[in-house]
Amino acid sequence: MGSSLISGDTCTFLGWAVLALVVLVLRNRWRPRKRLPPGPSTLPVLGSIHHLTLEFQQKRFAELGKEFGDVIYLKLFRTPAIVLNSLESARELLDKRSAKYSDRTRAVLLAELIGHDLSLPFLRYGERFRKHRRWMHDAVGSKASLLKYRPMQIREAHLLLRNLLETPDNFIEHLYRYVAGTLLEITYGQRLTSMNDLIVQLAERAVIATNESGSPGSMVVDFFPILKHLPTWLPIAGFKRHALKAREDLNAWKNTGLNIVRSAMASGTASASVTSALLEAHQGHLGEEELEDIKAVGTSIYGAGTETTYGSLASFVLAMVRSSDVLRKAQDEMDRVVGHTRLPGLGDRDSLPYLSALVEEVYRWNPGLALAIPHRAISDDEYRGYDIPEGCMIMPNIWAMTRDERFYPQPEEFLPDRHLNENGDGLAQDRELPSTYVFGFGRRICPGQAFADAVLWLAIAHIVAAFDIRPVVDAFGVPVVPPAAFKPGFTSQPARFQCNIVPRSEKIAAAIAHLDV
């Protein structure tokens, strides 16, 4: 009897395999397709990448919004992404449904390679995130902490005026020094005496490297994590060499800041700071995780605040040199309310509605984060009849929200009056102000928002009270008005420009020269 070429067991296996394949094909064919929001066409492997630009992606997303609407679906290589171009959509999803949208996408470049994995803006949602957020709120978000820091903020604002009086051509450096000095002191208890301060130098290098890396989710390695294992000697691994150098600076910054505070505490010379308060609170159970968390909170406060707040201050100066009428109107209000015998304080804020509107317009005209750090959908959801798949990257386009012509006609113009009520004696109540959304959404909103806002307002109020800001003139005496040009990057800052900053009177100049700093 001849033997069968295929055994009975093999036939059974093949039969089940064919049946499983048929079921899979039929299931995929009959399974209801997800109804995704409209968006541009996709290509194999690339997805929608070919529709985007390398720089200023927020503007490209806004352009796509004119074609597809305020909620756009894209495929970034293999990653599904939804861009929210309107404040309404961001409020509905990221605020009202924050339980579903408080996670972060995997940030391979910024978190895993550079080392921002424990920085609050990039920390994945969970218990550790809640701990960091609670610490930061207690440090810079509570009313008690805000009142505690006021004398230091006033002193730093006075020093800013002194520096602008003595070397006005270096105004960019003075603005940055004001923000850095304020944040250095509250974070590490150290007064900034020189921009060569070791923490400042290390932090500046790490922050600049982070900013130049682009927005989270903008690098190919974020979508193909295997690329992070490329050998650094490969020509195409420049991103990794850049990231690892930034990582060295970041780690040095973390350790230097912590060690300086611990040494000061040991010698009994430590000033009150966020870091010293956390170290004292965890005495007796300070494990490795707690140390890493404390270091990360320090870099979160200093790093997140310097670039965005400095960018807003520089944007204010740029707007004023371009809009002398706005500055004059703010000065007229300042003279009426505050007078000429003192400088403004935070207690004057409610009595200076036009100045408040001016600050709101600074937030709108050039938001610090044009594209907010992407959120991640924790589970499947549905919005306006569209499906939002689990794991989808949600990208709030704050820049597009600040250009919504329903609320902001002539959006590229700097017009503070748009934020005032009909009587001009207070901020408008019939629409949301930019300060309510440029700091983020839902459980991911910046916990240091109130502190950063106070730092910005105080500097702007002091400059308005003390100085005129004018264009430089060319060889023929013609004013040279700088363009409204901004640099690409993670945060948005004006391109370098020139202006003349001069005291409003000899009396004001003499008063600034005698300020106690």
pLDDT at residue number 279: 92
User: Does residue 12 sit within a domain?
Assistant: no
Q: What does the pLDDT look like over 265-306, one tens digit per residue? A: 999 999 989 999 999 988 867 888 999 999 999 999 998 889
**Which residues does the annotation place in the binding site?**
446
pLDDT at residue number 284: 67
User: Is pLDDT above 70 for 429?
Assistant: yes
DSSP letter at 476 equals T
pLDDT at residue number 32: 55
User: Does residue 21 sit within a domain?
Assistant: no
**Which residues does the annotation place in the binding site for heme?**
446
Reference 188, options 244, 139, 249, 250; nearest CA is 139
User: Does residue 159 sit within a domain?
Assistant: yes
Name the packing angle between helices 324-337 and 449-466 (round to 10°).
90
pLDDT at residue number 4: 39
Q: What does the pLDDT look like over 416-427, one tens digit per residue? A: 999 999 999 999
User: Is pLDDT above 50 for 130?
Assistant: yes
* pLDDT bracket for residue 490 (50, 70, 90): confident
Averaged pLDDT, 164-171: 97
CA distance 136 to 452: 13
pLDDT at residue number 131: 94
User: Does residue 29 sit within a domain?
Assistant: no
CA 353, 357, 359, 365: dihedral to nearest 10 degrees? -170
54-58, 84-88, 130-134, 383-387 — which is least confidently predicted?
A: 54-58
User: Does residue 2 sit within a domain?
Assistant: no
Encoded tokens for 503: 């005291």
C-alpha distances out from residue 144 to 79, 186, 435, 504, Å: 43, 14, 21, 35
User: Is pLDDT above 60 for 171?
Assistant: yes
Encoded tokens for 222: 């974020």
Domain count, the chain: 1
The pTM assigned to this predicted structure is: 0.90
* pLDDT bracket for residue 11 (50, 70, 90): very low
* pLDDT bracket for residue 163 (50, 70, 90): very high
Reference 179, options 460, 501, 464, 517; nearest CA is 460
Query: In this structure, are residues 403 and 411 in contact, taking their beta carbons and an 8 Å threshold?
Result: yes
CA distance 358 to 379: 40
pLDDT at residue number 362: 98
Domain range holding 505?
37-513
* pLDDT bracket for residue 19 (50, 70, 90): low
CA distance 483 to 491: 19
pLDDT at residue number 303: 85
Secondary structure E strands in 329-473: 375-376, 381-383, 386-388, 393-396, 467-470, 472-473
Within 13 A of 487's CA, how many CA atoms are on the CB side? 19
| Mean pLDDT, the chain, whole residue set | 90
User: Does residue 233 sit within a domain?
Assistant: yes
Burial class (CB in 10 A: 0-12, 13-18, 19+), 220: middle
Query: In this structure, are residues 465 and 344 in contact, taking their beta carbons and an 8 Å threshold?
Result: yes
User: Does residue 117 sit within a domain?
Assistant: yes
pLDDT at residue number 28: 45
* pLDDT bracket for residue 33 (50, 70, 90): low
User: Does residue 32 sit within a domain?
Assistant: no
* pLDDT bracket for residue 6 (50, 70, 90): very low
CA distance 452 to 140: 9
pLDDT at residue number 82: 97
What are phi and psi for residue 335, nearest 5 degrees?
A: -65, -40
- Report the CATH number that the domain containing residue 160 is assigned in CATH: 1.10.630.10
